[in-house]
Structure 1
Amino acid sequence: MLILEYKAVVKKTHAKAIDEAIRTSQFVRNKVLRYWMDNRAIGKKELYQYNTQLRAEYKFVNELNSHACQASVENVERAINRFFDNCKNKKPGKKGYPRFKKNCHSVEYKVSGWKLHPSKRRINFTDKKEIGELKLLGNWDIHAFPIALIKRVRIVRRADGYYVQFCVKVDNNQDVPVTNTEVGIDVGLEYFYSDSNGNHEENPRFLRSSEKKIKRSQRQIHKKKKGSSGRRKARSIYGRKHLRVTRQREEHAKKLARNLCLANAKVVLEDLNVSGLVRNHKLAKSISDASWYQFRCWLEYFGQKFGTEVIAVPPHFTSQECSKCGAKVQKTLSTRTHSCPHCGYVEQRDINAAKVILSRVNATGGQPGSNASRVAASTPVGHKTCKSKQRR
């Protein structure tokens, strides 16, 4: 799948209709989830039947396209299946019990409820919510794909406006020059990552660099009267500043992941439990600002796209182990140099860890899924990891 995103040019009437469609989609999702909570024995068929009852009972639900309502039911179904899968696999910690949505930001249509203009620069939503025709701004060449391949259309509301996303059913794999190089990656806070070749990638710290401006804009909100237009504008400015940081993180992670997958045939990294690491209140902000999880998601996505083997190995003792002799050398977090008393090997701490990470796969011939460290199984692309983002 390939997702193409356009900025939508909307007027006040368009924005009001889109917001109403998003609220209706959220209402259907929460009602269906409540129905499942009250009747645990029901299955997929009963959820869709209840959706039909909602359309007959509420006029504003019936005004939304039927496929958009079904998409909301599918969201509930995915949340339920994910919860049961986590329970079955005995995931540590919280299992992700489905929760109600308070602030949804999107509404999703399937193959009906919309019509693309012949120029493919405008889209008309034809359901009774009366969204109407929206002008699309963007550089994506959607002209290259037949309309029959567009399986989903989503309207997304963000702090800086509304966006229209097209989900196109195409093969997104690409042929790249053949290479045999391998690299181990150790992510960190001092550097964004260090590799086994001795290179460091600087940590940009986007949130830290913008934090002063964000806090100033947040203070401006509380200086405005509640319900006033000035307060709404202040909230919009505050939201756009956070959105800018989010986009900076994503573009940075995407660029580095793409370059790594293009330059190497195998990329090895640690199988970190980021959700557990952020429980440390002293390091939570710095870890979130580094966006390790997002970086791994993009690595897996480009690994599948370019045919690069991306493997996650257990993170146990990668910072303590010597990459040359294998002995364990105890170090505190403040110790940034690895100095082995057994073999005399001296190296920067993160580079040594990156070499250890790579050796844990190569020790058994580089087989994905091998238990190189005899602690836990390595993880090849797509196995019990975050889902790859389907973007270009």
Structure 2
Amino acid sequence: MIVLEFKAKVKPSQSSAIDEAIKTAQFVRNKCVRFWMDNQGVGQKELYRYNTALRDEFAFVKALNSHACQTAVERAYSAIARFYGNCRKQVSGKKGYPKFKKNCRSVEYKTSGWKLSQTRKQITFTDKKGIGKLKLKGTWDLNFYQLDQIKRVRLVRRADGYYVQFLISVENKVESEPTGKTIGLDVGLKEFYTDSNGRTEPNPRFYRQGEKRLKFKQSRVSRKKKGSTNRKKAVNRLGRVHLKISRQREEHAKRLARSVIQSNDLVAYEDLKVKNLAKNHCLAKSINDAGWYQFRKWLEYFGVKFGKITVAVNPAYTSQNCSSCGATVKKSLSTRTHSCKCGLVLDRDWNASINILKSALGTTGHVGTWVLDPNALGDSTSILAGEILSG
């Protein structure tokens, strides 16, 4: 599966119609969650029947394509199933009890409710929401694919406009020649990563670079009267800055991951729980700014695409153990040099990356696979080839 994204050229009336469609999908999802709360134990079939009742009761729900309403039901059930799964797995802390959505940014159609033009440069939405014909701007060419290969179409609202995404069923693997190389990666805050060969990649710190700009835009928002048109404009300008930073971080992770995968046959990295690490209030901003999760996500994706092996290794003691003799050399976070009694002296991260590679070659890790959590997709995520649009 691949996802192709185009920016849509919309008129003011069309933007209002798209917003109305998104609000309707949000309404259906929230009503399904409420129905489940009031009748715990109901399954997806009962939610589909409840959706039919909603379409009969509310005219604005019936105006939205039936498949788009079904997708909203699937989103609700996805949250419910995730909650039950976390309970069965006895996940520590909060189990992710389904919540009501307040600011959805997308509506998703299946195989009906839309029609492509002969040139594949325009798409017309045929339901009664009044979206009409949208011009698609982008470099992708949909003429390479058959219409029956397009499984889903998604309308996404972002700070800089509206986008149309196409989920296409197609084989997404590339034949590549083996390089005979293996590598271990240790991610960090000082350097983005240090590999087992001693090479480092600088940490760009996109959020830190744009922080001054963000503070300025945020102050402009605070000065505006709540509910006013000027405040909405200021919020949009602030959102555009955040969107630019997130795109910079995503593209940086994608570029590095592709380069690493194409240069090696086996890539080992730490199996980090970034969400737990970000609970450290002193380092949370820097950890989130680094984009470790995006980097790992792209490593695993390109590993599948190019037929390379990616291994996630338990990070325990990779920084403390000596990569030469295996002895444990305890050190604080501020200690950046590894010095062992065996005579080995080298950078702390370099030592850790060698340990990570050794663990992977010793089959102590687990092979990474491309599995996308529905939560990770979100409504405002940047586009990824290989994403799953359905819940």
Instruction: Establish whether TM, by shorter chain, passes 0.5.
Output: yes
- Inter-partner Cα distance in structure 2 for 1:28 and 1:145: 32
Q: 2:44 is matched with which residue?
A: 44
Deviation per CA, 1:200-244: give whole Å up to 9, x if none.
Answer: 000000000000011001101122233333222211111100000
- Inter-partner Cα distance in structure 1 for 2:51 and 2:179: 52
Q: Tell me which amino acid in the other structure corresponds to 1:93.
A: G
Q: Give the structure-1-normalised TM-score.
A: 0.94
Pair 129,384 (structure 1): closer, same or farther in 2 beyond 3 Å: closer
Quote the offset at 1:2 in angstroms. 0.6
* Kept after mapping to 1: 8 A contact 2:297/2:370: no
Q: Tell me which amino acid in the other structure corresponds to 1:359.
A: K
Structure 1: tracts of 5 or more residues without a match: 373-377
Q: 1:316 is matched with which residue?
A: 316
Q: 1:277 is matched with which residue?
A: 277
Pair 228,383 (structure 1): closer, same or farther in 2 beyond 3 Å: closer
Q: 1:212 is matched with which residue?
A: 212
- Inter-partner Cα distance in structure 2 for 1:16 and 1:71: 21
Q: 1:32 is matched with which residue?
A: 32
* Kept after mapping to 1: 8 A contact 2:114/2:125: yes
Quote the offset at 1:345 in angstroms. 0.1
Quote the offset at 1:26 in angstroms. 0.1
* Kept after mapping to 1: 8 A contact 2:111/2:152: yes
- Inter-partner Cα distance in structure 1 for 2:32 and 2:226: 34
* Kept after mapping to 1: 8 A contact 2:304/2:370: no
Q: How does 1:1-392 map to 2 (within 5 A)?
A: 1-341=1-341, 343-362=342-361, 364=362, 367=363, 372=364, 378-382=365-369, 391=385
Percent identity of equivalent pairs: 56
* Kept after mapping to 1: 8 A contact 2:86/2:95: yes
Deviation per CA, 1:173-220: give whole Å up to 9, x if none.
Answer: 111122221110101000001100111000000000000011001101
- Inter-partner Cα distance in structure 1 for 2:370 and 2:229: 49
Pair 386,45 (structure 1): closer, same or farther in 2 beyond 3 Å: closer
SS in 2 for 1:350: helix
- Inter-partner Cα distance in structure 1 for 2:36 and 2:231: 39
- Inter-partner Cα distance in structure 1 for 2:144 and 2:372: 32
Q: Tell me which amino acid in the other structure corresponds to 1:35.
A: F
- Inter-partner Cα distance in structure 1 for 2:39 and 2:57: 20
Q: Give the structure-2-normalised TM-score.
A: 0.94
SS in 1 for 2:367: coil
Quote the offset at 1:81 in angstroms. 1.8
Structure 2: tracts of 5 or more residues without a match: 378-383, 387-391
- Inter-partner Cα distance in structure 1 for 2:40 and 2:182: 49
Count of matched residue positions in the alignment of Structure 1 and Structure 2: 379
- Inter-partner Cα distance in structure 1 for 2:193 and 2:127: 49
* Kept after mapping to 1: 8 A contact 2:261/2:267: yes
Quote the offset at 1:309 in angstroms. 0.8
SS in 2 for 1:157: strand
- Inter-partner Cα distance in structure 2 for 1:350 and 1:120: 50
Question: Higher relative CO (CA 8 A, sep ≥ 6), structure 1 or 2?
Answer: 2
* Kept after mapping to 2: 8 A contact 1:271/1:379: no
* Kept after mapping to 2: 8 A contact 1:297/1:386: no
CA RMSD of aligned residues (A): 1.5
